[in-house]
Amino acid sequence: MSIVYKTLPHHTQDKVLLDQEIEITFMLDINVNSLRQENIILLNLSEQRVEPVKSAYNRKVLKIKSLNLLNPNSHYQLQLVGGESGIKDITGRIMAETYELEFYTKDIMSIKPPTIIQPNDLSIVLEKPEYHLTKVEEALYYELQVSMSNTFHNLVWPKNNEKIYGLEDKVTAKLDVSYENAQYYVRARSVNDKGICSSWSKPIRFYFDGKIESTIEVPKQEDVDTPDDDEVILETFTRAADQDQIKNLQDALSITDNVATSNLSIKDITPKNKSVNNSLESIKKITIQFSEELNKESVTTSSCYVLAERN
């Protein structure tokens, strides 16, 4: 039996504000000791990640707020974990099943995402690219993400939440990245002076086919052209490709996608997936064997956690 009386926002509500505080009203008083962090989980389903939250409880009302602004035009799910280790009322009765609340955030129209002008989508890049974005009037700065994955889970850039500030009519950036001969995905978004982010731009992808370097080559002073105040010089290292080159690039990207999706997989799990009637002793240690070595820094409480649930 659910012990939730009502919620704000309500289930499947859309156009939720980005700074929305979530309110859960219970039918019974809750044992505050059961309202632990691991029992209150906010998931960004659009990007498949857990959002950090803070919560406060008073007189049957639980208030939850994300530590960061919610992303616009995104799908979220709040989980209140039930089961033996989950949320209980003050009499000790457990919430038998995990409660799930889903909602959709508002697509902010007052701030738009930039468009990536350079490099061109599906292009072959011979030298370290300079990224060109269209300028958004309401933007204070821009965030750019470069990844070798179309899910942007493992970022090549930024490394320390670097920001990009625009000048004149265009926004340009040459990043401190050691590129490999591989496929890259790029997306960008704008952020206004209130910290509100636009949605991410449509991602572009290119294949870097240039010289692999460990450091960024700094041009000599005499080789640098200084533009006038009213002049913007755009430099591109993208090679024009004929139809045969485009076809070869598309084939290469297709092969790269297939390889990327098959690199990492789960080989074995103990106890077995979907197994039942396991003893408490057997589930004290859960072992997962992968097909490849993992980046240990990616294994965190946000990416790997256990839910206890009783049917």
Domain CATH for 146:
2.60.40.10
Q: Evaluate if residue 216 carries a pLDDT over 70.
A: no
Residue 114, preceding peptide bond in cis (omega within 30° of 0)? no
Residue 31's pLDDT band (boundaries 50, 70, 90)? very high
Instruction: Indicate if 190 and 123 belong to the same structural domain.
Output: yes
Per-residue 3-state assignment (H helix, E strand, C coil) for 54-95: EEEEECCEEEEEECCCCCCCCEEEEEECCCCCCCEECCCCEC
Instruction: Indicate if 97 and 131 belong to the same structural domain.
Output: no
* pLDDT attached to residue 11: 94
Strand residues in 120-231 grouped as ranges (E): 123-125, 131-134, 141-147, 155-157, 170-173, 183-191, 204-208
Q: Domain count for the chain, please give it.
A: 3
Instruction: Indicate if 93 and 191 belong to the same structural domain.
Output: no
Instruction: Indicate if 124 and 241 belong to the same structural domain.
Output: yes
Query: What digits encode the pLDDT tens for the residues 34-63?
Result: 999 999 999 999 989 999 999 999 999 999
Domain CATH for 82:
2.60.40.1220
Instruction: Indicate if 139 and 203 belong to the same structural domain.
Output: yes
Residue 203, preceding peptide bond in cis (omega within 30° of 0)? no
Does residue 177 lie in a domain region? yes
Query: What digits encode the pLDDT tens for the residues 103-162?
Result: 999 876 568 889 999 999 999 999 999 999 999 988 999 999 999 998 898 899 998 989
Instruction: Indicate if 203 and 131 belong to the same structural domain.
Output: yes
- Bridge partners, 2 (sequence order): none
Segment 233-250 mean pLDDT: 54
Burial 32-45 (b: 16+ CB within 10 A, else e): eebbeeebbbbbbe
Instruction: Indicate if 247 and 150 belong to the same structural domain.
Output: yes
Cα separation, 252 vs 239, whole angstroms = 16
Instruction: Indicate if 256 and 271 belong to the same structural domain.
Output: no
Q: In which domain, by residue range, is 82 found? A: 4-105
